[in-house]
Chain A
Amino acid sequence: MTLTTTSFDWVRQLVHRESAIVLAPGKEYLVEARLLPVARKMGLTDVGQLVDTVRSRPRPDDTRQIVEALTTNETSWFRDGDPFTALTSTVLPSLLTARGPAERLQIWSAACSSGQEAYTVAMLLEDALPNAASRVAITATDISREMVERTQAGRFSQLEVNRGLPAPMLVRHFQRAGNEWEVAPALRRMVTARECNLAAPLPRMGPFDVVYLRNVLIYFDLPTKQAILRRVRELMRPDGWLFLGAAETTLGVDDSWSRVVIGRSSAYRPLKGA
């Protein structure tokens, strides 16, 4: 069944209100594809029925499931590898010089989905730094409670570990656990996952030395992008590093950042006095 305009608009408004993410007209297929599993889980046959049911009797748990289904994205290890190369080649050496030996580096993986980005960073640091677990803290956040729980558990299916995780890193940093793979305890100790809606006032966290905020801003309108960048900057150290997705930039959005080219990647750093 094709989604009616009324149902689609209701979903759009709900998602915008709860997450500030804009579902443009034409994204009906996305709503259908993402919400069909939610409908079936609730014993309903299609997305139209799901919308009708939740509209007539809104329950926080149901609306949360709808928002989560539409704000969760597929992710893979070493996704667009350049920002990770930049971390080990440039950012980490610079931070180790700037910080004292007792200072713990704080890294934020924002909109972490099921945790692949956070654990990719953890693996790189574990390989690059002796006693990484005691020198680095990685905070992974997502709007979805389910994704936060999955990240904290650090367990991944066979299909997930197939997606861009180099085999030598798989055998070095994971253990088989039944049909799944579990990250090594040292990596899990490094990562703390928590719920966080980037479009709302942020919880007290940080201050962060490095922030990965990749492929997130593209979903928001300009005022929300500006608000997110401002809040993120407030949680960063003045000499911190921000990585955005390859198709994202602060240019034309928020002029309080300077862009630094690192190899094939770009990082953004807070401008002094901005």
Chain B
Amino acid sequence: MRALVIDDSRAMRRIVTGILGGLGYETRQAGHGQEALDVLHEGWVPDLCTIDWNMPVMDGLQFVNAVRANPAWRPVTLVMVTSESEQSQIVRALAAGAHEYVIKPFTADALRDKLALLGLLPQEAVL
């Protein structure tokens, strides 16, 4: 399974990449929404995107809207991973087409629980 980790913080990308790598994901990283779209256009379409909200160039919500506007990318599961914790923001992200929402700070178990809910835990990672 493939995951694209989108966050403008290199440290956060490293943390999320580490968790997903440990679960058996093949990962790539992007520093903002436009860079992530470029990866998808290039033909590297992941099963999962983890998406920060506040990023330069293109923010997470704009990225979700752009992915949802392209029917070819419908199978991609979109999980917001952000410090935006207002209820109205979660509602906006879900309405735009995000499947799940993880609020920073979070633990590896929290991300893993969400992936389990989405049926996105690689088989070998299920204990």
A220: Cβ under 8 A from any B Cβ: no
B105: Cβ under 8 A from any A Cβ: yes
Q: What separation, in Å, do the CA atoms of A168 and B95 have in the docked complex? A: 10
Contact with A164, one of B94, B98, B105, B116 (Cβ below 8 angstroms): B116
A73: Cβ under 8 A from any B Cβ: no
Contact with B87, one of A159, A162, A175 (Cβ below 8 angstroms): A175
The answer to whether A158 and B85 touch across the interface, beta carbons within 8 angstroms, is: yes
Interface size class of B (residues with CB under 8 A): 20 to 34
Chain A minimum-CB-distance residue to B116? A164
CB contact list, B69-91 vs A, under 8 A: 85-87, 90-91
B103: Cβ under 8 A from any A Cβ: yes
A171: Cβ under 8 A from any B Cβ: yes
CB contact list, A102-158 vs B, under 8 A: 158
Q: What separation, in Å, do the CA atoms of A78 and B105 have in the docked complex? A: 21
Stretch binding the partner chain, chosen from B11-19, B26-34, B50-58, B106-114 = B106-114
Chain B minimum-CB-distance residue to A76? B113
The answer to whether B91 and A171 touch across the interface, beta carbons within 8 angstroms, is: yes
The answer to whether B110 and A159 touch across the interface, beta carbons within 8 angstroms, is: yes
B residues in contact with A230, CB < 8 Å: none
CB contact list, A62-89 vs B, under 8 A: 76, 78, 81
Interface size class of A (residues with CB under 8 A): 10 to 19
Contact with B86, one of A78, A167, A176 (Cβ below 8 angstroms): A176
Question: Taking A159-B105, A159-B107 as contacts, is the C-beta distance between A166 and B90 under 8 angstroms?
Answer: no
Contact with B94, one of A158, A159, A162, A168 (Cβ below 8 angstroms): A168
A residues in contact with B100, CB < 8 Å: 166-167
B residues in contact with A162, CB < 8 Å: 102-103, 106-107, 110, 113-114
Chain B minimum-CB-distance residue to A79? B113
Q: What separation, in Å, do the CA atoms of A167 and B102 have in the docked complex? A: 8
The answer to whether A170 and B90 touch across the interface, beta carbons within 8 angstroms, is: yes
The answer to whether B85 and A164 touch across the interface, beta carbons within 8 angstroms, is: no
A residues in contact with B107, CB < 8 Å: 159, 162
B67 to chain A, nearest CB (A): 17
A residues in contact with B98, CB < 8 Å: 167
The answer to whether A167 and B90 touch across the interface, beta carbons within 8 angstroms, is: yes
Question: Taking A158-B103, A159-B107, A171-B94 as contacts, is the C-beta distance between A166 and B87 under 8 angstroms?
Answer: no
Q: What separation, in Å, do the CA atoms of A158 and B94 have in the docked complex? A: 18
A17: Cβ under 8 A from any B Cβ: no
Could you jot down 6 A-B contacts, CB within 8 Å? Answer: A76-B109, A81-B117, A162-B114, A164-B110, A166-B100, A167-B94
- 3 closest pairs, A vs B, by CB? A164-B113, A167-B101, A162-B110
On B, residues with C-beta under 8 Å from A are: 85-87, 90-91, 93-94, 98, 100-103, 105-107, 109-110, 113-114, 116-117
